[in-house]
Amino acid sequence: MKYEKNQYSDGFSICALIIAGAFLYWGISSFIPWNAWSWWGFISTGIGVAILVSQIFALTNRSKLRNVVLSEFQVNPEATIDEVSKSTGITPKDIQSIILDLKASGQLRGKFNTTTGQIKHLSIPEKEALTEERAKYCPNCGTPIKKDGAQFCAYCGAQI
């Protein structure tokens, strides 16, 4: 698997799928009444297929990247995002996106230490009451920051 910078967060696009559909429609519809200019349909159909294949590749690669990050946290349960980034070669931005996706799907359960940034695995996620007096939020995921001296987000591990 070859990794490119910010491939996870920037690799897949709904707009690209819409554009691929437009090229495919344009190319296939030009074949219907076959005439001397119908061969141009092969070009737009080829472009549509190429875009569609690249988006399918991006989706399968996202799955592989999630598995790499999940296994890295399983091997080193007290790792920080920077340590995982250095050992896997994945950018911290992508690791934060992957962590949010893993947490949303229930595959990764844990919180990050707000002073060290290390993840702490929990068997049962704790539900803490929100304090209304605290109005500071994580710039990455939007989770309220409850501790005054927090340097890292407890939910996604992003540096504040």
Residue 140: pLDDT band with limits 50, 70, 90: confident
pLDDT of residue 45: 94
DSSP for 33-50?
S--TTTTHHHHHHHHHHH
Q: Where are the domains of the chain?
A: 7-77
Q: Are 115 and 152 in contact (CB under 8 A)?
A: yes
Q: Which two tokens stand for residue 60?
A: 């399968």
- Cα dihedral 60/66/68/69 (nearest 10): 160
Question: CA-to-CA distance for 99 and 70, rounded, in angstroms?
Answer: 8
pLDDT in tens, 5-60: 666 777 788 899 999 999 999 998 888 877 777 788 899 999 999 999 999 988 88
Q: Which residues pair with 153 in a beta bridge?
A: none
Q: Are 100 and 143 in contact (CB under 8 A)?
A: no
State the average pLDDT over residues 96-123: 79
